[in-house]
């Protein structure tokens, strides 16, 4: 837990908590079950602003299940923990088929990014059923593969790719985003294990409208609070820029 400090300009009367690590800010959080067209039950969570409607929606697609990725992978967990309160965003996160997290286990087995097409459809069905506004896909690593392959099948505003490895994504699937009318943002870590900025620029050259962000010092897993804040700020820049800059302190009495 962060040590309480004082909000700037408070005259020492309003203790606050530094927003970092596992700090979870207030939100309406609901466990949800997604149902796929092939009969699977997927475990998820929907987080909404506490006392107002969201202005936009994140559908978060997690990293590679066979390498430990799940709905609680840290960037996705922190987006759900912080952005409903700080940026008025809805965050839907879930375990792909066959994936276990502290929230539970989704039915099925890993589908190599192909069967997960149905998982994404189930998530977007919930977005539609709840009338969640202005949905964006936010994929991380393996989640970017699912995004690039199948995202254009859905009524999304755009997609944000965090550390895309492009292992399972064809050149044709990338090129399909050109002229699609959906925004595409790629955050490429300078020190990525799989795809660094120079190569990424070549692979994405077929999408001239791509918003390409090379992150100096960034690594594939975005470890550390500075990298976490950079990623969350890049997301908010696209979904609700009026919420920037994201605060680093939060009133302690509102966390009680």
Q: What is the pLDDT of residues 122-176, one digit of tens each?
A: 999 999 999 999 999 999 999 999 999 999 999 999 999 999 999 999 999 999 9
Superfamily grouping for domain 27-243: Alpha/Beta hydrolase fold, catalytic domain (3.40.50.1820)
Q: Are strands 28-35 and 41-48 parallel, antiparallel or unpaired?
A: antiparallel
Neighbouring residues of 242: CB distance < 8 A, sequence distance ≥ 6: none
**Percent of the chain whose pLDDT exceeds 70:** 95
pLDDT-derived band of residue 1, with 50, 70 and 90 as boundaries?
Answer: very low
Instruction: Report how far residue 115's alpha carbon sits from residue 183's, in angstroms, rounded to the nearest whole number.
Output: 25
Q: Which residues pair with 169 in a beta bridge?
A: none
pLDDT-derived band of residue 14, with 50, 70 and 90 as boundaries?
Answer: confident
Give the mean pLDDT of the chain: 95
pLDDT score of 256? 62
Distance of alpha carbon 113 from the chain centroid: 17
**Percent of the chain whose pLDDT exceeds 90:** 93
pLDDT-derived band of residue 204, with 50, 70 and 90 as boundaries?
Answer: very high
pLDDT score of 70? 98
Q: What is the DSSP string of 6-72?
A: E-TTSTT--EEEE--TT-----EEEEEEEE-TTS-EEEEEEEE-SSS--SEEEEEE-S-GGGT--TT
pLDDT-derived band of residue 10, with 50, 70 and 90 as boundaries?
Answer: very low
Distance of alpha carbon 233 from the chain centroid: 12
């Amino acid at each position: 837990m962060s040590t309480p400090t004082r909000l700037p300009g408070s005259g020492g009367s309003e203790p606050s908590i530094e927003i970092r690590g596992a700090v979870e800010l207030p939100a309406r959080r609901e466990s949800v079950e997604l149902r796929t067209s092939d009969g699977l039950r997927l475990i998820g969570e929907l987080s909404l602003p506490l006392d107002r409607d969201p202005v936009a929606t994140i559908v978060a697609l997690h990293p590679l299940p066979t390498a430990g990725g799940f709905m609680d992978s840290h960037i996705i967990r922190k987006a759900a923990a912080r952005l409903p309160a700080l940026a008025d965003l809805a965050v839907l996160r879930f375990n792909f088929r066959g994936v276990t997290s502290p929230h539970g286990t989704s039915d099925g087995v890993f589908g190599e990014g192909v069967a997960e097409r149905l998982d994404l459809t189930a998530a977007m069905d919930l977005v539609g059923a709840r009338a969640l506004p202005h949905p964006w896909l936010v994929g991380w690593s393996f989640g970017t593969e699912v995004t690039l392959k199948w995202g254009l099948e859905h009524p999304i505003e755009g997609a944000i790719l965090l550390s895309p490895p492009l292992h399972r994504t064809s050149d044709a699937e990338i090129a399909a985003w050109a002229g699609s009318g959906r925004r595409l943002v790629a955050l490429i870590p300078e020190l990525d294990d799989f795809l660094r900025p120079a190569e990424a620029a070549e692979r994405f050259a077929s999408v001239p409208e791509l918003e390409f962000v090379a992150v100096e010092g960034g690594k594939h897993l975005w470890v550390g609070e500075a990298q976490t804040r950079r990623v969350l700020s890049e997301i908010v820049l696209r979904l609700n820029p009026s919420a920037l800059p994201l605060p680093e302190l939060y009133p302690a009495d509102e966390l009680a």
